[in-house]
Structure 1
Amino acid sequence: MGCLAGLGWFILLVAVVNIEAQNKPPIKINSKCLGNLLRVDVSRLGGSFLEVSVVINNSSIILTPSVSSQCGFTIKKDHQGNAVIYASIQNCFARNVDDKAFTTKLGLRLQSDNVVEDEFYLMEDTCYYSPWAFREIICRPNYMEVSVRSEVTCPSGTKKDDWNSLKPAHRSTTSDWQVMFQTDDEQLPPINISDARKQGYAFLLTEGRLVFRAPYGQPESFSTEVNGVPVETVHATIFSRQSWVVLMVDLVAACSMDEGLYNESGYMLWETPEMLYPNLDGQQINVGLQGQLVAQPVAEERGYIVGKQNNTIQICIPENAEGRYRKSAVEDDLYEFYVYHLYLEQILVDEDRVETRIRSLRTLATPLLPSPIFAENQTVLEENMFTVYLGDVPEDVQLAAVHLNGQEFTVPLSVSSFIITKVVHPNNTHGYKLKVPFEDPVVLQQFSKTDALHYILNINYTLTVLPEKDLYYHMESVVALVTDVSPPQFDAVCTESGISFKLDHRPFDYLWEITIDSDLLTSELADQHGYTMINDSNSLLLEVPLFSRGYEYKNVSLKGFFGTFEIIMRDLETSEVQGSTIKTCPFSTTELIMCSTDGRMTVVADLALAIPNGGNPARTNLRDKYCGPKETDGSRALFSFSLNSCGATVKLNSENVTYENEIFYSKKLLRPSQVVSDNAKERVTMQCTYPLSGLHRLFSVHRFESDAAGIGSLLHTTHPAAGLQSPTIQPTSALTTTLATTTLSATRRATGSYKPALHPPSRYVKVTRFRYPTNTRFRYPANASYRYIWPTLNKGVRQSLQTKLNAAHI
């Protein structure tokens, strides 16, 4: 045989995949040929256990860890829980065709607790690899492999050590192949190949190559340091003696055991001695991740740093290198680490141009690095809601739930008043934006002494790390401070028919309740009192007609009067008054009657039909002729007097007390030259009615006390031709308690006309106390207490008193 030299190389990679399954597979299987390695990715496992076996002639051999390391397989899970299988194309079970085509058939069994029957899949792949280097070495995480041509070479020189290893082989008396291991300081006795296989070694003789594979940590291997880098070496020499001829092949595999070092610059550093194999030089380096190799210049363009120091090759992998894995972990806090499946190829040649190719596949991992998640308060007060952003959440971490002030809400949310939105970023991170309205019941509120309102939201994010589902909690507390907190204030506008109030809603207005006097303003109350109320999400509009309940009146004259309406704001919890909106507007009307809060009756009456032609309204008076008008014009008169004065009569029933008086015209004191036609057609009666249930100590004291306003009425009734000169005329129409909401017109009826009362409501009405002298002759005054005295009298006395009251017009 002649001497062979490496004259160049050419690699052809072709992958043929055949996947068979009993059922439609829920998993995904991909395979790829990477030089003299086959890679198989099995994903979508869903937490199931994957059993991998090799199928040979319809039988299968399960790849246990020991079988895998002896026969050239590496099985592991990646950061996502998927399985990754690496197989040497020269594995123990590969079908080899001319040392060019290598077929491996795997059986994949998926086992799960919630599946009755296992799922089984067959995967077959053929890798084509050519040409081979004279010597090929693979350094895998669980084994070392060396493959050499089976042809005899002619070395340029022979050293003494080579002859030393030949002596034991020459003394051997067997023709079977034997192996002799040599450690760092001794040479072990030879053993049969079959015995070596039992110890975990693999020997394979193909048509043109001899393969030797050894798991790490074997007793016959030895560890040392070369230039400070840990190295494991196995040195085996196989031989066979044929008569006086000894065939011997020297097999050496040396692999760097460096686990890598992560530096502060963000690089993962891995080292291997430059010259693990003596007499080899002219090194060429290709490097990459995940089995993808690129030439050194290309790698350096991608951020790798490839250099030499102290006869040591240093590979620096950037943290963000394409193909690296990132993984989150929980250790009291959230951390991350990076995993690099380094693939390094070294091509060496000796002085005879014989090529050695070394491929190292090492899995490197950084230590746990802090992976801080931040929360940013993006709240804008004008939006009336919290906006909190949780950022820098790694891609393998998901939000599972949030606790808001102690209340748990799982994600995704069901129906809720707040929302959580996922925000994805191009750097493989994402975030979550949480929006919670200030008015949400889950939000805490606190008032300070400086009239500031604090909205408080304590957030506890529950995050889960996939696929392990480890839980991590991130807590954040945000506060929104509203400094212009004050009771609501209405904008008020005077209208012809009343007062219009408008309130623009603020997010915290619900902290107060709005009342009219002491009654809560509701749609029912508005309907009851004749208000018009429109309330939506933006504003509250309240139209209060004149003379409806809640008004107070001042400066009443024939020209007009002032009406005042007040809306009160009370503390929601204590009901204490904290503010109000008061609006006073000028009004004018033809007629009105007011039963005021201080026990007075104020009347503006149109007397155009109640006085004779040529008569002067100033000549009118009430039943008491000394009670005249305060002010008059051409046809109207203004009277204002105490309810129990000016000859008023009092009527009682089981529910109400009514004060009544009339307007009369007097012809007395007219000069002879004054001629007045007695053609009056109407008489005017005025009444104020109060509910007994709201009166306190009626007539027993001077002070008039009523819980409710009096109901006033002005009655224009047909009058005999004699005119208004007798105070004995009685009303001809029934008392009404209807409240008027518009001014009275001058409309009359031929037989009689009715005008409803115009009156302001009263919150609390009181009258001065009155006591009778003990030596005064008993006469029931208009303010006598029927409630307390009347029931104590016998029937005859009551009839006599009633007759006297009627005769005296009290």
Structure 2
Amino acid sequence: MAFKFSVAFLLSVCSAAICDLITDGVHMECRERYFMIAVDLSFTGKELRFEAVDRTGVYAITEQYAAKCGYTMSALPLLGHVELRASYFSCHTDNKDDMFSFNFNLIATHKGKKASYALNKTCTLSLQWSHREVTCEMNYMEVRSTASSDWQVTFQRPEEQMPSMNVSQARKRGYMFDSRDGRLLFRTPYGQPDSLSTEVEDVPVEAVYATVFSRQNWVVLMVDLLAACSMYEGYFDDGGYMMWKTPEALYPSVGGTQIRIGLNGDAMEQLIAEKRGYIVEKHKGTVQIGIPYNAEGGHRKSFVIGSLYEFYAFDLSVEQISVDRDYVDTMLQFRRTLVTPLLPCTVFTRNQTVLEEQMFTIYLGDVPEDVMLVSIQLNERDFTLPFTNTSTYKVTEVLHPNGTHGYTLKVLFHDPVVKQKFLIEDAVLQFMLDINYTLAVLPGNDSYYRLASIVALFTDVSPPAFDAVCSESGIRFKLNRQPFDYLWELTIGLDVLTSDLSAGVATPTFNAA
């Protein structure tokens, strides 16, 4: 599933041109290595965009500018949100003693009027820097290392040495080099001419190898910067896991790598993740990760394409920590959005009717949490929900711990809407109910229909049997009542036997027991 910047978004806006009020639909959060803004799309408005603000001006965050400057925009309208992630070393971040200040404008257009929200946040470092850190974002690679100033750079490819250039020339080619607070930063979008696409342990990898150097008096200081990222897209397996993998040895390591994984930036230790149902395995030089489909922090959405489907999306965070022979530690961070294919939903109906209760009981189950029952058709008669207080029909919602829910429908056998049929030859009585459930997927109210035909059978349904007793005064008839006597009419001659008729007839007499 592709993620584009040119998506129509929904957002609340103010009547004034500039609005400083932050609505409940905007959430800001400092995470270990980046700042995140999440916007809920359940508001009115459209055409959302972001601007970065610093002392030098205001800068529109376009797709190309984001990859160059350390911003990532993830949009998934079907899940109802858009997310902006900004690296702590993004272009317009103010950094003082590892305190990172972010300033953005959130722009929305509604009914031809533009509104701007000022979003400001200062983040402090929650985890100390490693000697070298590499970030594999969705649209760029970033590597940070301890270093100093005034650099030249040269790129390397297998059996090819590229000519050196200064940092200004490199920036014109789409690369970002920066030196601040004793750390050297290198950032590059994916797919640059100097990058290398290869496979490591059958996993697609993109890598950029740059050497930067600076002359200080009689000494030339050189720093190797390698950014290597797994480009594996992942897949959904039959066991209910979203699988993803990366080579274990993208960077030199003595004694293997430590792994932390999680969703939405909340990475946790491997043992904790495994207790929560994650799979973390090292196999043939790769680290393989399985995310359970119902993992806390994942996103799920129902979807109608003829039938009812669902998909799951996961904002995966993976950290690999390794130490080389020179005791230089490297933290490699991956941030990937993984989406399952469309999976069929297993909504079902179950006949729970008990004949002795003289009513239909039908259960509609495995209804997803974002799908609601809105109306029912019973033998081609339409009924909206909820039923009125005077209705003879009853629908009860049933909630389940796994997030799904269901509905129990009860209809009396003898309700006028129910069809009846008596098969004389087989002495079988049928009660028939055709049901058409109309369900709506929220919030768009796309309709999905579920059909069910239920038949209740009563066997050995025989006509009434009379016992006749002759006496001097006439004939007395005796009838033992049966549950289905109402199906027959009793007549004397051509007249239907009623209480009035019975009272006016001297002979014969009729008794019912």
Interval containing the TM-score (normalised by the shorter chain): 0.7 to 0.9
Give 1:355's match in structure 2, choosing from 314, 329, 344: 329
Q: Which residue type is aligned with residue 475 of structure 1? A: L
Could you list the per-position Cα deviations for residues 158-182 of structure 1 after superposition, in whole angstroms to 9, with x for gaps in the alignment? Answer: xxxxxxxxxxxxxxxxxx7543322
Which residue of structure 2 aligns with residue 45 of structure 1? 42
Q: Which residue type is aligned with residue 504 of structure 2? A: Y
Which residue of structure 2 aligns with residue 321 of structure 1? 295
Q: Which residue type is aligned with residue 464 of structure 1? A: A
Q: Is the 8 A contact 2:348 2:364 kept in 1?
A: yes
Aligned pairs for 1:190-205 within 5 A = 190-205=164-179
Q: CA deviation at 1:506?
A: 6.4
Cα distance in 2 between the residues matched to 1:86 and 1:551: 93
Which residue of structure 2 aligns with residue 456 of structure 1? 432
Which residue of structure 2 aligns with residue 149 of structure 1? 146
For residues 301 and 550 of structure 1, do their structure 2 counterparts lie closer, same or farther at Cα, with a shift above 3 Å needed? closer
Cα distance in 1 between the residues matched to 2:118 and 2:484: 65
Q: CA deviation at 1:281?
A: 5.4
Q: Is the 8 A contact 1:54 1:93 kept in 2?
A: no
Q: Which residue type is aligned with residue 122 of structure 1? A: A
Which residue of structure 1 aligns with residue 409 of structure 2? 434
Cα distance in 2 between the residues matched to 1:23 and 1:503: 84
1:583 aligns with 2:486: no
For residues 414 and 142 of structure 1, do their structure 2 counterparts lie closer, same or farther at Cα, with a shift above 3 Å needed? farther
1:121 aligns with 2:117: yes
Q: Which residue type is aligned with residue 341 of structure 1? A: D
Higher mean C-alpha deviation, range 330-339 or range 120-129:
330-339
Cα distance in 2 between the residues matched to 1:342 and 1:281: 25
Cα distance in 2 between the residues matched to 1:459 and 1:197: 66
Aligned pairs for 1:477-556 within 5 A = 477-483=453-459, 485=461, 509=486, 551-553=504-506
Give 1:106's match in structure 2, choosing from 98, 104, 107: 104
For residues 410 and 95 of structure 1, do their structure 2 counterparts lie closer, same or farther at Cα, with a shift above 3 Å needed? farther
Which residue of structure 1 aligns with residue 448 of structure 2? 472
SS in 1 for 2:303: strand
Give 1:36's match in structure 2, choosing from 33, 47, 50: 33
Q: CA deviation at 1:285?
A: 1.9
Q: CA deviation at 1:456?
A: 1.6
Could you list the per-position Cα deviations for residues 220-260 of structure 1 after superposition, in whole angstroms to 9, with x for gaps in the alignment? Answer: 21111011111111122334567876554332110111122
Q: Is the 8 A contact 1:319 1:338 kept in 2?
A: yes
Cα distance in 2 between the residues matched to 1:513 and 1:63: 83
Higher mean C-alpha deviation, range 268-277 or range 400-409:
400-409
Cα distance in 2 between the residues matched to 1:80 and 1:508: 58
Cα distance in 2 between the residues matched to 1:338 and 1:326: 4
SS in 1 for 2:266: coil
For residues 459 and 77 of structure 1, do their structure 2 counterparts lie closer, same or farther at Cα, with a shift above 3 Å needed? farther
Q: CA deviation at 1:136?
A: 1.1
Cα distance in 2 between the residues matched to 1:483 and 1:507: 11
Which residue of structure 2 aligns with residue 237 of structure 1? 211
Which residue of structure 2 aligns with residue 135 of structure 1? 132
Cα distance in 1 between the residues matched to 2:317 and 2:215: 39
Higher mean C-alpha deviation, range 222-231 or range 406-415:
406-415
Query: Over alpha carbons, which structure has the higher Rg?
Result: 1
For residues 381 and 549 of structure 1, do their structure 2 counterparts lie closer, same or farther at Cα, with a shift above 3 Å needed? closer
For residues 478 and 463 of structure 1, do their structure 2 counterparts lie closer, same or farther at Cα, with a shift above 3 Å needed? same
Could you list the per-position Cα deviations for residues 498-556 of structure 1 after superposition, in whole angstroms to 9, with x for gaps in the alignment? Answer: x9x999996994x66788986789xxxx9xxxxxxxxxxxxxxx6x5xxx885232xxx
Q: CA deviation at 1:208?
A: 1.8
Q: Is the 8 A contact 1:453 1:482 kept in 2?
A: yes
SS in 1 for 2:65: helix
Cα distance in 1 between the residues matched to 2:286 and 2:189: 25
Cα distance in 2 between the residues matched to 1:184 and 1:471: 56
Cα distance in 1 between the residues matched to 2:450 and 2:333: 44
For residues 364 and 439 of structure 1, do their structure 2 counterparts lie closer, same or farther at Cα, with a shift above 3 Å needed? same
Aligned pairs for 1:698-737 within 5 A = none
Which residue of structure 2 aligns with residue 65 of structure 1? 63
Which residue of structure 1 aligns with residue 156 of structure 2? 182
State, as a whole percentage, how many aligned pairs show the same letter: 46
Could you list the per-position Cα deviations for residues 453-509 of structure 1 after superposition, in whole angstroms to 9, with x for gaps in the alignment? Answer: 22222222233333454433322211112336567899xxxxxxxx9x999996994
CA RMSD of aligned residues (A): 3.7
Could you list the per-position Cα deviations for residues 585-614 of structure 1 after superposition, in whole angstroms to 9, with x for gaps in the alignment? Answer: xxxxxxxxxxxxxxxxxxxxxxxxxxxxxx
Asked which structure has the greater RCO (Cα within 8 Å, sep 6+), the reply is: 2
Q: CA deviation at 1:427?
A: 1.0
SS in 2 for 1:379: coil
Aligned pairs for 1:624-773 within 5 A = none
For residues 406 and 188 of structure 1, do their structure 2 counterparts lie closer, same or farther at Cα, with a shift above 3 Å needed? farther
For residues 387 and 210 of structure 1, do their structure 2 counterparts lie closer, same or farther at Cα, with a shift above 3 Å needed? same
More strand by share: 2
For residues 382 and 25 of structure 1, do their structure 2 counterparts lie closer, same or farther at Cα, with a shift above 3 Å needed? farther
Cα distance in 2 between the residues matched to 1:508 and 1:345: 76
Q: Which residue type is aligned with residue 42 of structure 2? A: L
Q: Is the 8 A contact 1:50 1:108 kept in 2?
A: no
For residues 23 and 286 of structure 1, do their structure 2 counterparts lie closer, same or farther at Cα, with a shift above 3 Å needed? closer
Could you list the per-position Cα deviations for residues 423-472 of structure 1 after superposition, in whole angstroms to 9, with x for gaps in the alignment? Answer: 11011111111222333443333232334322222222233333454433
Q: Is the 8 A contact 2:41 2:82 kept in 1?
A: no
Cα distance in 2 between the residues matched to 1:202 and 1:513: 94
1:272 aligns with 2:200: no
Give the alignment's TM-score, normalised by structure 2.
Answer: 0.81
Q: Is the 8 A contact 1:345 1:357 kept in 2?
A: yes
Higher mean C-alpha deviation, range 310-319 or range 279-288:
279-288
Cα distance in 1 between the residues matched to 2:180 and 2:139: 23
For residues 503 and 385 of structure 1, do their structure 2 counterparts lie closer, same or farther at Cα, with a shift above 3 Å needed? farther
1:424 aligns with 2:399: yes
Cα distance in 2 between the residues matched to 1:102 and 1:25: 21
Aligned pairs for 1:203-352 within 5 A = 203-239=177-213, 246-278=220-252, 283-352=257-326
Q: Which residue type is aligned with residue 106 of structure 2? A: L
Cα distance in 1 between the residues matched to 2:158 and 2:446: 46
Q: Which residue type is aligned with residue 378 of structure 1? A: Q
SS in 2 for 1:382: helix
1:391 aligns with 2:365: yes
Could you list the per-position Cα deviations for residues 57-78 of structure 1 after superposition, in whole angstroms to 9, with x for gaps in the alignment? Answer: 5964332222222222222245
Q: Is the 8 A contact 1:438 1:507 kept in 2?
A: no
Q: CA deviation at 1:138?
A: 0.8
For residues 184 and 51 of structure 1, do their structure 2 counterparts lie closer, same or farther at Cα, with a shift above 3 Å needed? farther
For residues 149 and 520 of structure 1, do their structure 2 counterparts lie closer, same or farther at Cα, with a shift above 3 Å needed? farther
For residues 94 and 383 of structure 1, do their structure 2 counterparts lie closer, same or farther at Cα, with a shift above 3 Å needed? same
SS in 1 for 2:414: coil
Give the alignment's TM-score, normalised by structure 1.
Answer: 0.53
Q: CA deviation at 1:206?
A: 1.6
Higher mean C-alpha deviation, range 133-142 or range 357-366:
357-366
Cα distance in 2 between the residues matched to 1:69 and 1:210: 18
Q: Which residue type is aligned with residue 81 of structure 2? A: N
> Where in structure 2 are there 5+ consecutive unaligned residues?
1-13, 467-475
Q: Which residue type is aligned with residue 69 of structure 2? A: C
For residues 241 and 458 of structure 1, do their structure 2 counterparts lie closer, same or farther at Cα, with a shift above 3 Å needed? same
Q: Is the 8 A contact 1:464 1:470 kept in 2?
A: yes
Q: Which residue type is aligned with residue 134 of structure 2? A: I
